[in-house]
Amino acid sequence: MATRHDAALYALLTGSATLNAMLGTVTSVWKNNAPEGATMPYVIFAESGGGRDNRFAGDHDDVTYSVKCVADNDSNGGIVAEAAAEQIEALCDRPASVSMSDSWVERATTVTGQFSYIEMAEKKSYTHAGRLVRMRADK
Amino acid sequence: MSRVVVKFNHLPRVKRDAPRRASELIRALAFEHERYVKQSFGASPSPVGGPPGVDTGALRASIRVEMTDALTAVVSDGVNYGIHLEFGTSRMGARPFMVPALIWLARNVVRIASDIGWEG
């Protein structure tokens, strides 16, 4: 289940010229965490909850992701990460049109929350800013 | 011509009780959220994407419910690394625990309401 949503969300994020320009490269989108030494800023998406919804007849998925930008505060990380989060919202709060595999059809992709925080690590600080993105699909 | 005769008018009682019953529901949902979060914690180390594992137990023990007014409940943790587990850091994948509970709560709100005496 997660694979088809992962692929759809990855395609949505990497398909945006605006977000790519903010990140500097199309390869700056990662699932769960970035490889060690990855160049910031980058985008991380991770499943936060939900899954198969068995309350109704038929096949339904209802998955919520956290999608965030991580940026180094030595390079205006706060501004960069918040701007990228705004772009993530623009991409992910939208009418259904994401392609999915195995005949699944996206029903709706919506932003349901937002978050922002500072991480301190080894005398450096990083801003994490993102959105909670809910993806629903039927088959 | 139709004619309606109201023999039992419960509307005044419903109107009178609604704020108290709504508050009871909010409170019940908040405590169910807290219970779900605390019970979701597993063994340490925990896998990426799963709820945090218990090491010292400080995070789990710090989770609490506060009714800030009659219709608002806040479920929060009291450690500075809670949000780092919820959404991850630059070196660690997320171990979400609040958001999964919220999603579970949304799917179970009717049952929880029924448990405290709300009728469908």
| First and final C-alpha spacing in chain B | 32
B-chain residues near A48 (CB < 8 A): 94, 96, 99-100, 103
Structure confidence at residue B1 (pLDDT): 80
Upstream peptide bond of B45 is cis (omega within 30 degrees of 0): yes
Structure confidence at residue A10 (pLDDT): 93
Structure confidence at residue B120 (pLDDT): 55
**Stated pTM of the model:** 0.90
A60-94 as b/e: b if 16+ CB within 10 A: bbbbbbbbbbbbbbeeebeebbbbbbebbbebbee
Q: What pLDDT, in 10s, does the model give residues B74-103?
A: 999 999 999 999 999 999 999 999 999 999
Structure confidence at residue B100 (pLDDT): 96
CB of B81 within 8 Å of a chain A CB? The answer is no
Which of B68, A77, A91, B105 shows the shortest CA–CA distance to B76? B68
DSSP output for A71-89 = EEGGGTHHHHHHHHHHHHH
Residue of A nearest to B51 (CA): A48
Structure confidence at residue A26 (pLDDT): 66
CB of B104 within 8 Å of a chain A CB? The answer is yes
**Residue B5 pLDDT class (50, 70, 90 cuts):** confident
DSSP output for A14-66 = HT-HHHHHHHSSTT-EEESSPPTTPPSSEEEEEEEEEEE--SSSS-EEEEEEE
Averaged pLDDT score across all residues of chain A:
90
**Residue B60 pLDDT class (50, 70, 90 cuts):** very high
Q: What pLDDT, in 10s, does the model give residues A15-43?
A: 999 999 999 876 799 999 999 989 999 99
Which of A131, A120, A110 shows the shortest CA–CA distance to A66? A131
Q: What pLDDT, in 10s, does the model give residues B9-49?
A: 888 988 999 999 999 999 999 999 999 999 999 999 999 99
Instruction: Give CA separation, A118 vs A15, A43, A98, A115, B48, in Å.
Output: 28, 15, 32, 11, 20
Which of A113, A109, A106, A69 shows the shortest CA–CA distance to A88? A69
Residue of A nearest to B95 (CA): A48
CB of B90 within 8 Å of a chain A CB? The answer is yes
Please answer yes or no on whether A132 and B99 come within 8 Å at the CB atom.
Answer: yes
Query: What is d(CA B19, CA B6) in angstroms, rounded to the nearest whole number?
Result: 24
Residue that has been written with the tokens 């597993």 in this structure = B42
Rounded to 10 degrees, the C-alpha dihedral B109/B110/B114/B117 comes to 70
Q: What pLDDT, in 10s, does the model give residues A41-79?
A: 999 999 999 888 877 777 888 999 999 999 999 989 999
Residue of A nearest to B110 (CA): A55
Structure confidence at residue B104 (pLDDT): 94
Structure confidence at residue B22 (pLDDT): 93
Query: What is d(CA B38, CA B52) in angstroms, rounded to the nearest whole number?
Result: 10
Structure confidence at residue B101 (pLDDT): 97
Tell whether the model's pLDDT for residue A125 goes beyond 90: yes
Tell whether the model's pLDDT for residue A2 goes beyond 80: no
CB of B100 within 8 Å of a chain A CB? The answer is yes
Structure confidence at residue B2 (pLDDT): 87
Structure confidence at residue B83 (pLDDT): 97
Average the pLDDT over B110-120 and give the result.
86
3-state secondary structure of B112: helix
Please answer yes or no on whether B96 and A33 come within 8 Å at the CB atom.
Answer: no
Alpha helices in chain B (DSSP H): 11-40, 58-62, 82-87, 98-107, 109-115
Structure confidence at residue A1 (pLDDT): 55
Amino acid letter, A78: G
Average the pLDDT over B52-68 and give the result.
96
